[in-house]
Amino acid sequence: MATAPAAAQAPAAADTIPPVHQRIAGPSPMAPALLPAGASAGAPLGTHSDTLPCLECNPPKRFWLGAADVMLAQFVPWAGNYFISKQAWAEIGPQTWRNNLTYPWQWDDNTLDINHFRHPVHGSMYFNAARTNGYSFWGSAAWPLAGSLMWELFWEAWAPSPNDLVNTSVGGVILGETLFRLSRLTLDNTATGGERVWREIGSALLNPISGFNRLVRGETGRVSANPPAWRPSAILGVLDLGYRQTTQSITNGVTESGSDQWNATFLLSYGDPTKDLSQTPFSYFAIRADLAGPSSGQVVNQFSARGSLAAWPLGESRRHQVAVSLEYDYFDNPAFQYAGQSVQVGLISSIGAPRKTWWGQTTFLFNGVILGSTKSDYYRTVEGRNYDYGPGLGTLLSGRLFYKTRLQGTVSYAGLWLHTIDGTQSAHYQDALLLEARYWASHTIGIGFGYTVYNRHSDYSSLPDVDQSSSFLRAFVSTAIPGLPH
Report the chain's terminal Cα–Cα distance, integer Å: 37
The answer to the question of residue 377 being in a domain is yes
Q: Which is nearest to 398 in space by CA: 368, 371, 435?
A: 435
Tell me: do 190 and 313 sit in the same domain.
no
The answer to the question of residue 414 being in a domain is yes
Tell me: do 313 and 442 sit in the same domain.
yes
- The proportion of the chain whose per-residue pLDDT surpasses 70, expressed as a percent, equals 88
Phi/psi of residue 190, nearest 5 degrees: -90, -10
Domain boundary pick from 229, 246, 275: 229
In the predicted model, what is the mean pLDDT of residues 390-412?
93
The domain tally of the chain equals: 2
Banded pLDDT at 404 (limits 50, 70, 90) = confident
The answer to the question of residue 181 being in a domain is yes
Peptide bond into 232 cis (omega under 30): no
Per the structure, the complete domain to which residue 469 belongs is given by 4-42+234-481
Domain boundary pick from 229, 250, 274: 229
The answer to the question of residue 221 being in a domain is yes
The answer to the question of residue 359 being in a domain is yes
Tell me: do 300 and 242 sit in the same domain.
yes
Tell me: do 307 and 355 sit in the same domain.
yes
Q: Which is nearest to 35 in space by CA: 400, 379, 462?
A: 400
Chain length of the chain: 486
Tell me: do 398 and 309 sit in the same domain.
yes
Give, in order, the Cα–Cα distances in Å from 317 to each of 32, 193, 273, 320.
21, 46, 14, 7
Banded pLDDT at 49 (limits 50, 70, 90) = low
Tell me: do 345 and 423 sit in the same domain.
yes
Banded pLDDT at 12 (limits 50, 70, 90) = very low
Tell me: do 269 and 384 sit in the same domain.
yes
Tell me: do 176 and 256 sit in the same domain.
no
The answer to the question of residue 54 being in a domain is no
Q: What is the pLDDT of residue 155?
A: 98
Banded pLDDT at 157 (limits 50, 70, 90) = very high
Domain boundary pick from 207, 229, 251: 229
pTM to 2 decimals?
0.90
Q: What is the pLDDT of residue 192?
A: 96
Q: Which of 107-116, 169-178, 293-302 has the lowest mean pLDDT?
A: 293-302
Tell me: do 328 and 397 sit in the same domain.
yes
Q: What is the pLDDT of residue 259?
A: 84
Tell me: do 225 and 241 sit in the same domain.
no
Tell me: do 424 and 444 sit in the same domain.
yes
Q: What is the pLDDT of residue 355?
A: 64
The answer to the question of residue 51 being in a domain is no
Q: What is the pLDDT of residue 448?
A: 98
Q: Which residues pair with 371 in a beta bridge?
A: 341
Tell me: do 327 and 397 sit in the same domain.
yes
Mean pLDDT of the chain: 88
Give, in order, the Cα–Cα distances in Å from 13 to each of 20, 147, 288, 308, 474.
13, 33, 8, 16, 13
In the predicted model, what is the mean pLDDT of residues 54-64?
96
The answer to the question of residue 373 being in a domain is yes
Q: Which of 68-77, 197-206, 395-404 has the lowest mean pLDDT?
A: 395-404
359 vs 126, residue with greater confidence? 126
